[in-house]
Amino acid sequence: MSIILALTLASAAVADTRWQNIAHTPGFPGWRTAIRDHVQRSARHRINHLCVVVGRDATPGGSATAYVYWPEQRRIELLSQANDPVLSQELFAQGPIYLDRDIIGEHGQTGLSPTSVTRAWVHQLVSRCRATGTRLTIVKKR
- pLDDT tens per residue across span 97-125: 999 988 887 655 555 556 788 889 899 99
What pLDDT, on a 0 to 100 scale, did the predictor assign at position 91?
60
pLDDT digits (tens, 9 = 90+) for 26-71: 878 788 888 999 999 999 999 999 999 998 876 776 778 889 999 9
Model-level pTM greater than 0.85? no
Q: Residue 54: enclosing H or E segment and its boundaries?
A: strand 47-57
Range from 4-13, 25-34, 63-72, 82-91 that averages highest in pLDDT = 63-72
Q: Could you tell me which residues come within 8 angstroms of residue 72 by beta carbon, excluding any fewer than 6 positions away?
A: 43, 44, 45, 47, 48, 49
Residue 4's alpha-carbon distances to 29, 65, 80, 110, in angstroms, are 22, 11, 12, 14
CA 10 to chain centre: 12
